[in-house]
């Protein structure tokens, strides 16, 4: 590849002249003489299938032969694709814990299918040695993954004295595909926890990782996929909710809802939900921040997470997290939490997304109902509102894209929203993403832009990103871009080494700089940074970086310093952990002064036995006292501690009992300030059909007068308690 250059013209030239590597491996998809039985037993029908056994390591020893043989076979009938994977291993080392859909662990095998031949997206179907199913969509040439996608498919696994067998049945009606193609992109994967082997059938570069553009080929041998039927999924939902009004008094409510998935063609999907409830969703984790900006919370509600990549600007680096485009569609604004803790009701939602040749498109609409909530100054009405979004994206130059995104909100007083043009130019080891947006609120608005570039070669790493957001760019009702009046730029790079032998697998050293202008401060912060990342073949690694510069917040100008550390430990199939922490000298907007701020934390989980996993997270946040007050006995203003222990019991696959407690404590009061507890029992009794029992409670300190007393007393008491029984059943037509 030519020497990297940040010039946009040169990147365009590279993208035009890039030629993808020829697919060097292929497998023929033959018609099955009879339908295979999915039971983990190798039937005679599999003798007619083409097979692949030339797997190789991506890690820990790149391009080396695997320790044990893996063989994959595929067959087809008119309405389904079948896959068999035979995995040799010492059965004493095979990890086969129980689990539920997409909650995976242990030895895992998978098949991946690029059903549109676009070299950008693919389906992944995976099964553990314990028979747990995992499915997702690979996006952006496998740079990102969407585990919110779920299909209706079937699998079985069976242990033997030489290893294990996995069989899969993937109905064509559960996936989208181009019916005109004569071949699909194809790859297989096997993960072996004992030894940390990650094996693939296709060949990839160590510095890039998996790339859909380098898949092998699945050749249709006389019989192409066909799918018949209405392709309609209907989910009636029944709900009973019990809410505590006060200690010993409860209110019982019954409700119902409806979810619909409809595929009128193999390239179009329609979804709708009426009167949804998301009682099965775990409460948001505790967040601590000293920033002047609003805290971000991930979307967890299934209707919004499924297919949400359609409404994202291109180029997000989910694996590294280095570049993230401006989030113009932030679905947490719909049915949002109100200041008194209540929620605006979501009455109805629908979305559609599909493909036509090199084009992708999507549309979204939702209605949030009117509701009244309490504030210190009295009741306030959140108006009924309609939210809409539309997306069109075109694939260009094989592995790149350009698109337009619109997001809007309408109520009786305001029309507001945003429109953007975005895209990504890609090679197998580099990406340049860009975005230009215009906001509007009635007759006012402003512009914002972002861009990010990353190059990952065998011996060189380069990255740069920047944002510029207008003073009046306000999309607070539809998106998450709270940094009005900000412009920033970060660039870093350095050498990287991969070591073919020994415990050390890779080492990256990098240096760079950053500048940030905030209109609120009328100052350009600037800093230089250094960092190091090391990864080891025993699935351990760490990263440490430091920066120093000068900053201003409000009227305070000060030398800014930050040191951060993170590490991960997956050296045993039975347990994993990560540790992180940092120290910075910055401005504390929670308290309104400049001082130091430090944090540290650890997360750990342990598989006690195949059916039980326990773990916890522990975080400590330390706020320093003002620099101008050195006479205090301690330099610490406050220490806030948050811990979230949990256990997950899965006695059989797809039946799970999960419980957690979230505690928040402070040093100044020497007590627990808030306790949040939750219990969720979930059972998937049929594909995409569930029973949920959810119980949640929040306790904190409140001042009231106990019964029979006129004296107010502060007590640690219940703030909220609710139990929900929810049944969701799939009618598949």
User: Would residue 629 count as lying in a domain?
Assistant: no
How many CB atoms are closer than 10 A to CB 250? 12
User: Would residue 336 count as lying in a domain?
Assistant: no
For the chain, what percentages of helix, strand and coil (3-state, to nearest 5) are there? 5, 60, 35
Do 533 and 504 form a contact (C-beta atoms < 8 A)?
A: no
| pLDDT score recorded for residue 7 | 39
User: Which domain does 181 fall in, by range?
Assistant: 21-220
CA angle 556, 560, 562 (to 5 degrees): 145
User: Would residue 156 count as lying in a domain?
Assistant: yes
Cα gap 212→205, rounded to integer Å: 12
Q: How confident is the model at residue 365 (pLDDT cuts 50, 70, 90)?
A: very high
Cα gap 97→103, rounded to integer Å: 11
Task: Look up residue 470 and give its two tokens.
Answer: 């207008």
pLDDT in tens, 541-566: 999 999 999 999 988 899 999 999 99
**Gap between the terminal Cα atoms of the chain:** 51
| pLDDT score recorded for residue 681 | 94
Cα gap 502→436, rounded to integer Å: 46
Do 484 and 475 form a contact (C-beta atoms < 8 A)?
A: no
State residue 370 phi and psi, 5-degree precision. -75, 140
User: Would residue 480 count as lying in a domain?
Assistant: no
Q: Which of 7-11, 142-146, 393-397, 426-430 has the lowest mean pLDDT?
A: 7-11
| pLDDT score recorded for residue 648 | 96
| pLDDT score recorded for residue 23 | 45
CA proximity to 85, closest of 16, 172, 158, 177: 158
CA proximity to 43, closest of 156, 130, 191: 156
Total tally of structural domains belonging to the chain: 1
Please state the rounded mean pLDDT for residues 204-215: 92
Cα gap 263→273, rounded to integer Å: 15
Cα gap 314→311, rounded to integer Å: 9
Cα gap 407→334, rounded to integer Å: 12
Q: What percent of the chain has pLDDT over 90?
A: 63
DSSP 214: G
Give every CB contact of residue 9 below 8 A, 6+ residues apart in sequence.
none
Cα atoms in the Cβ-side hemisphere of radius 13 Å centred on 142: 22
| pLDDT score recorded for residue 279 | 62
Which among 249-253, 307-311, 393-397 has the top mean pLDDT? Answer: 393-397
Q: What percent of the chain has pLDDT over 70?
A: 93
Cα gap 516→696, rounded to integer Å: 42
User: Would residue 40 count as lying in a domain?
Assistant: yes
| pLDDT score recorded for residue 633 | 60
Cα gap 395→119, rounded to integer Å: 10
Cα gap 20→125, rounded to integer Å: 25
Residue 318: is its pLDDT beyond 90? no
Please state the rounded mean pLDDT for residues 243-249: 74
| pLDDT score recorded for residue 355 | 86
* Alpha-helical regions (H) of 24-112: none
Cα gap 558→257, rounded to integer Å: 55
| pLDDT score recorded for residue 717 | 86
Please state the rounded mean pLDDT for residues 532-548: 95
pLDDT in tens, 577-602: 999 999 999 999 999 999 999 999 99
Cα gap 635→619, rounded to integer Å: 20
Do 715 and 705 form a contact (C-beta atoms < 8 A)?
A: no
- CATH number, domain of 144, equals 2.60.40.1190
User: Would residue 103 count as lying in a domain?
Assistant: yes
Task: Look up residue 473 and give its two tokens.
Answer: 């760019």
Strand partners, 21: none
- As to burial, measured by CB atoms within 10 angstroms (0-12 exposed, 13-18 middle, 19+ buried), residue 515 is middle
Do 74 and 142 form a contact (C-beta atoms < 8 A)?
A: no
Q: Give the DSSP letter string of 197-209.
A: EEEESS---TTT-
Q: How confident is the model at residue 124 (pLDDT cuts 50, 70, 90)?
A: very high
| pLDDT score recorded for residue 422 | 96
CA proximity to 431, closest of 404, 464, 467, 405: 464
User: Would residue 176 count as lying in a domain?
Assistant: yes
Q: How confident is the model at residue 515 (pLDDT cuts 50, 70, 90)?
A: very high
| pLDDT score recorded for residue 6 | 36
- Residues belonging to the chain: 733
Residue 702: is its pLDDT beyond 70? yes
Predicted model pTM: 0.87
Strand partners, 342: none
CA proximity to 480, closest of 469, 496, 495: 469
Strand partners, 728: 237, 690
pLDDT in tens, 596-651: 999 999 999 999 999 999 999 999 999 999 866 555 566 899 999 999 999 999 99
Cα gap 82→169, rounded to integer Å: 5
* Alpha-helical regions (H) of 264-418: 302-305
More confident residue, 187 or 222: 187
Q: How confident is the model at residue 11 (pLDDT cuts 50, 70, 90)?
A: very low
How many CB atoms are closer than 10 A to CB 21? 12
Residue 323: is its pLDDT beyond 80? yes
User: Would residue 129 count as lying in a domain?
Assistant: yes
As a whole number, the mean pLDDT across the chain is 89
Strand partners, 374: 379
């Amino acid at each position: 590849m030519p020497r990297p250059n940040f010039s946009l013209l040169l990147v365009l030239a590279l993208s035009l002249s890039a030629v993808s590597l020829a697919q060097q491996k292929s497998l023929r998809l033959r018609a099955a003489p009879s339908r295979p039985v999915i039971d983990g037993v190798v039937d005679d029908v599999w003798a007619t299938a083409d097979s692949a056994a030339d797997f190789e390591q991506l890690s820990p020893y790149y391009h080396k032969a695997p320790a044990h043989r893996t063989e994959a076979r595929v067959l087809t009938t008119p309405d389904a694709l079948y896959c068999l994977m035979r995995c040799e291993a010492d059965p004493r080392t095979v990890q086969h814990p129980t689990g539920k859909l997409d909650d995976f662990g242990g030895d895992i095998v998978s098949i991946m299918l690029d059903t549109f031949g676009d070299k950008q997206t693919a389906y992944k179907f995976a099964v553990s040695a314990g028979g747990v199913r995992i499915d997702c969509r690979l996006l952006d040439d496998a740079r990102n993954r969407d585990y919110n996608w779920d299909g209706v498919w079937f699998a079985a696994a069976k242990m033997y004295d030489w290893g294990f067998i996995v069989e899969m049945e993937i109905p064509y009606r559960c996936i989208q595909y181009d019916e005109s193609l004569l071949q699909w992109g194809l790859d297989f994967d096997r993960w072996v926890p004992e030894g940390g082997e990650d094996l693939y059938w296709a060949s990839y570069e160590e510095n890039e990782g998996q790339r859909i553009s380098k898949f092998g080929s699945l050749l249709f041998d006389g019989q192409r996929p066909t799918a018949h039927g209405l392709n309609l999924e209907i989910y009636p939902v029944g709900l009973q909710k019990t809410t505590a009004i006060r200690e010993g008094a409860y209110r019982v409510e019954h409700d119902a809802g409806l979810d619909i998935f409809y595929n009128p063609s193999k390239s179009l999907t329609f979804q709708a939900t009426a009167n949804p409830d998301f009682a099965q969703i775990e409460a948001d984790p505790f967040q601590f921040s000293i920033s002047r900006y609003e805290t971000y919370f991930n979307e967890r509600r299934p209707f919004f997470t499924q297919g949400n990549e359609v409404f994202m600007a291109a180029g997000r680096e989910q694996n590294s997290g280095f570049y993230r485009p401006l989030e113009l569609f932030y679905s947490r604004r719909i049915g949002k939490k109100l200041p008194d803790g209540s929620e605006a009701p979501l009455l109805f939602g629908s979305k559609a997304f599909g493909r036509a040749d090199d084009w992708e498109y999507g549309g979204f609409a939702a209605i949030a109902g009117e509701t009244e909530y309490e504030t210190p100054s009295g009741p306030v009405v959140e108006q009924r509102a309609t939210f809409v979004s539309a997306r069109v994206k075109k694939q260009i130059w094989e592995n790149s894209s350009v698109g337009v995104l619109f997001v809007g909100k309408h109520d009786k007083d305001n029309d507001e929203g945003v429109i953007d043009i975005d895209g990504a130019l890609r090679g197998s080891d580099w990406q340049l993403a860009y975005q230009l947006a215009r906001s509007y609120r009635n007759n006012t608005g402003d512009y914002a832009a972002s861009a990010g570039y990353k190059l990952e070669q065998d011996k060189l790493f380069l990255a740069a990103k920047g944002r510029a957001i207008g003073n009046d760019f306000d999309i607070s009702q539809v998106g998450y871009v709270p940094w009005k009046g900000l412009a920033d730029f970060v660039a870093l790079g350095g050498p990287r080494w991969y070591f073919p032998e020994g415990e050390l697998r890779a080492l990256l050293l990098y240096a760079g700089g950053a500048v940030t202008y905030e209109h609120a401060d009328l100052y350009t912060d600037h800093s230089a940074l250094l960092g190091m990342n090391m990864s080891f073949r025993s699935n351990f690694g760490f990263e440490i970086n430091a920066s120093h510069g000068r900053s201003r917040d409000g009227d305070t100008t000060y030398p800014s310093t930050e040191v951060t550390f993170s590490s991960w430990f997956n050296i045993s199939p039975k347990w994993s952990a990560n540790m992180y922490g940092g120290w910075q000298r910055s401005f504390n907007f929670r308290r309104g002064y400049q001082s130091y701020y430090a944090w540290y934390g650890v997360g750990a989980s342990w598989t006690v036995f195949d059916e039980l996993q326990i773990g916890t997270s522990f975080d400590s946040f330390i706020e320093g006292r003002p620099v101008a007050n050195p006479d205090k006995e301690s330099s610490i203003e406050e220490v806030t501690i948050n811990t979230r222990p949990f256990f997950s019991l899965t006695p059989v696959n797809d039946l799970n009992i999960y419980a957690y407690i979230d505690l928040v404590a402070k040093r100044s009061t020497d007590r627990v300030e808030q306790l949040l507890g939750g219990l969720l029992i979930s059972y998937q009794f049929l594909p995409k059909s569930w029973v949920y029992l959810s119980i949640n409670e929040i306790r904190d300190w409140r001042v009231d007068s106990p019964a029979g007393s006129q004296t107010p007393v502060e007590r640690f008491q219940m703030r909220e308690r609710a139990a929900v029984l929810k049944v969701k059943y799939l009618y598949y037509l």
